[in-house]
A and B are shown apart, each in its own frame.
Chain A
Amino acid sequence: MSAEGEANGKRATLLIGAPFIYAAAMLVVPIFTIITFSFWTQNYLDIDKNFTWANYIAAWSEPIYTTLMWRSLGISAVVTFFTVTLAYPLAYYISFHVPQERKTLWLFLITIPFWTSYLLRVFAWKIMLGYNGVLNSGLIGLGIIDEPIRAMLYNVNAVVITLTHAWGPFAILPIFVSLEKIDRSLINAARDLGDAAWRRFYRVILPLSMPGVIAALLIVFIPTVGDYITPGLVGGKDGVMIANMIRLQVSKANNWPLGAALAVNAMIIVAILSVTMVVCLRAFIKRIR
C-alpha cells in the first residue's frame, strides 16, 4: 500500500471509529442484552437465568400475543398503504408541477408538523376526533347529528388516521427525491414514441421512482409496527398493539424476559416481511419494464 493509501486508511479509521463505537454501545449491546433476557425467566422480583424457550413458546401459542402481533402488522400494513398512496400524488405534484424556485418552500411547508412533538400531534387528533371534539361539535352545529358519535376515537380507525398523518412526510420526501432524479428526457422520449400520459407514467415514471416508494414503504411500515404512543392514546381498548404489550411486560406486568421475547419476535417478523416486500417489489418493477 502506498503512503497516501495508508494515510487514507488511518483517516477512515478515525472518521468511522467514533460513530462505530457509539453505535455499538447504544445499539448492538442493548440488542444483545434484550436477546439474552428473552431466554431467561422472571421469578417474582428476581430473574432465573436458566436457558429456556418458554417465552418464545408463549409468544407463539398464547392467543393474546399472536392476536396483538397480527393486529399490529395489519394496522401497519393499512397505515403504510394509505400513507404511501396519499404521499405519491403530492410528491409527484411538487416534482412535476411546482416551479423549481418554489420547491424548497413546498418541502419546507410539509415539514411544518415536525415543529411540534409527536405527542402533541397525537393529542391534536384526540381533540379532532373526541366525543366533544372538533368534528363532533362541527357536525352537531351543522345539525347533521344530535348526539356526538362515539365511534371516531378509541378504536383501530383512530390509530390508522393518526399514524397516517404522522408518517406522511416520511413517505413524501423519499418519493419526491426519486421523482426528482428521473431524467426528464426519458419522459419526452416516451411521448415522442407515442405513449399517452397514463402509459408514460406506468412504464417510465413509476418504475424509475420505485426506489423512493420502496424506501417510503419501509420507513413507514417498520416503525409503525412498534408504535405504542398512538395506540395508547387514541386506540382505547380495541386498538391495543404488540408494543403496548411489550411495554406492559417491562412495566406493570413485571415480566422482562417475556417482554424481551415479544420484542425479539416482533423484530424478526418485521425483518422477514420487509425483505419479502423489497424482493416482491423488485420483481414487480422488472415485470413492467
Chain B
Amino acid sequence: MNKTLQTFAVGFASVCLLSNLALNNAIAADDELVVFDWAGYEEPNFHQDYVTKHGDSPTFSFFGDEEEAFQKLRAGFKADVAHPCAQSIPKWRDADLLQPWDTSRIPAFATLVAGMENIPGLSGADGQYMIPLDWGNTALTYRTDKVNAADVRSLQAFINPKFQGQTSIGDNVDDAYALAFLATGVLDWTTATDAQFETASEWLRKAHENVRAYWSDPAALAQLMASGEVNVAWAWNETATRLSDEGHPVIMARDTDEGISTWVCGYVLLKGGEGNEAKAYDFMNAFLSDDTAEHLVYDWGYGHSNQAALDKLDQEVLASMGYTNLDSFKDKTFWQSPVSSGLRERMIAEFEKIKAGF
C-alpha cells in the first residue's frame, strides 16, 4: 500500500510540474503589451508586422461581451489596449477608462474609410478615443439544408414556433436589441421612445422561447451550427464565411424583409496600462496594414477600416459584402451607433431578465 501511495505522490508531483510548464509556455507571449479583445482576434495574421518587429504576439485576454469587459476593467484589470465597439465608447469615457490616441503616430488614420474618422462619440475635445478597425454585420444566418429559405425571409423567423429550440442569439446586449428593434420596425435606437423600447423587449421575450443557447463567442456558435443543433442564428459575418469555407451549408441572409444590423469596432488606448505605449502603436499599425485587411475581408468576412488597403483588394468581392462605402453600408440597416447611457443601462437590465426567462 505504501508503495502505491509513494508512486501516487511521485506521479502527482510530476503531473503538477508538467502542467505548470505547459501553463508557463501558454502565457509566454510578449508581456509588454496586453490586448483585451474578442476571442479570435489573437490570430497572429492580424498583427503580423508586430510579430516580425518584436518576435512575438502581444499577450491577449478575452471577453465575450463589452459589459463584461467594462466591469473587469473597472475592477482593476490592467490592459493596454481594448477592442470595444462604437456604442460602448460613451460609457467607457464616462468611467474615465480611456485616453486619446496620438493619431500622428498612426499613418493609416489619414486613409480611413470616409466617415469613420468622425463617427460621433468616438472623439472628444482632447482627441480620438477609438481608432475604427473592423466593421461588419449582424444578420440572420441559417443552415440551407435544414431550413426552408421561405421561412427565413423575415426576422420574424426568430419568433416562429417552427424553430423552437433551434435558434441562437448572441449573449451581447447590443446585437440582441439591434435585432429586436429591427424586427419591430425601429431603425435608430438613439431616437427610440419608451414605447418602442417596450415593444422591442416584448419581441425579444418571444424570441427567447425559441433560443437553444445564447452564443458567447463565434467559435461556440460555429459548433452549434455545424452540428445542426442550431439552424437559425443572429450572427456576425465570420460565422457564415468560415462555416461555408469548411463546407457547411450555412449562409447569411442579407435581404430579409427587415434588413440587417451594422456595426464598427476598433481599438482604444486604456488609462493605467502598464505596458509599453510604443508597442500599442506598433500593434495598431500592424492591424491597419494591407495584409491584415486582406485576411480580415477574405477569411473572416469583415470590413477593414483602411481605405488605402481596401483599394488593393478585389472590388467585386468588397461590393458583394457591402464594404465599398460607409454611408451606403449603413443605409437601410440598423446602425449600432453610440447610444445614450440611460437607454443602454435599461437595455442591459432588461436583456438579462429576458435571458433568465422573465
Listed in ascending order, the chain A residues whose CB lies under 8 Å from chain B are: 44-45, 63-64, 67-68, 101, 104-105, 108, 115, 130-132, 148, 150, 154, 236-238, 240, 244-245, 248, 250-254
Task: Across the A-B interface, give the 5 residue pairs with the lowest CB-CB distance, nearest first.
Answer: A131-B229, A252-B67, A132-B227, A64-B358, A251-B71
**CB neighbours of B357 from chain A (8 A):** 237-238, 240
B117 at the A/B interface (Cβ < 8 Å)? Answer: no
Cβ distance B234 to chain A, nearest Cβ, rounded Å: 15
B130 at the A/B interface (Cβ < 8 Å)? Answer: no
Once A105-B1, A236-B213, A238-B357 are accepted as A-B contacts, the answer to whether A252 and B227 lie under 8 Å apart by CB is: no
How many pairs, one residue from A and one from B, have CB atoms within 8 Å of each other in the complex? 76
Once A115-B15, A150-B165, A245-B356 are accepted as A-B contacts, the answer to whether A252 and B71 lie under 8 Å apart by CB is: yes
Once A154-B212, A154-B213 are accepted as A-B contacts, the answer to whether A101 and B71 lie under 8 Å apart by CB is: no
B8 close to A254 (CB less than 8 A): no
B345 close to A44 (CB less than 8 A): yes
Cβ distance A245 to chain B, nearest Cβ, rounded Å: 7
Known A131-B229, A253-B352; further 11 A-B contacts with Cβ < 8 A: A104-B1, A108-B5, A130-B229, A132-B227, A154-B213, A236-B212, A237-B208, A237-B211, A240-B355, A244-B356, A251-B72
Q: What does DSSP make chain B's interface, helix, strand, loop or mixed?
A: helix
Query: A45 vs B1: C-alpha distance in the bound complex, in angstroms?
Result: 60
**CB neighbours of A245 from chain B (8 A):** 356
CB pairs A–B below 8 angstroms (10 shown): A44-B345, A45-B74, A45-B94, A64-B356, A104-B5, A130-B229, A131-B229, A150-B229, A154-B212, A251-B71
B1 close to A101 (CB less than 8 A): yes
Query: A219 vs B114: C-alpha distance in the bound complex, in angstroms?
Result: 62
Query: A52 vs B208: C-alpha distance in the bound complex, in angstroms?
Result: 34
Once A108-B4, A237-B357 are accepted as A-B contacts, the answer to whether A252 and B229 lie under 8 Å apart by CB is: no
- Chain A, residue nearest B341 (CB): A44
Residue total for B at the interface (Cβ-Cβ under 8 A): 36
Query: A4 vs B357: C-alpha distance in the bound complex, in angstroms?
Result: 66
B67 close to A237 (CB less than 8 A): no
**CB neighbours of A45 from chain B (8 A):** 74, 94-95
- Chain A, residue nearest B214 (CB): A237
**CB neighbours of A154 from chain B (8 A):** 212-213
**CB neighbours of B165 from chain A (8 A):** 150
Query: A240 vs B353: C-alpha distance in the bound complex, in angstroms?
Result: 11
In B71-118, which residues have CB < 8 Å from any A CB?
A: 71-72, 74, 94-95
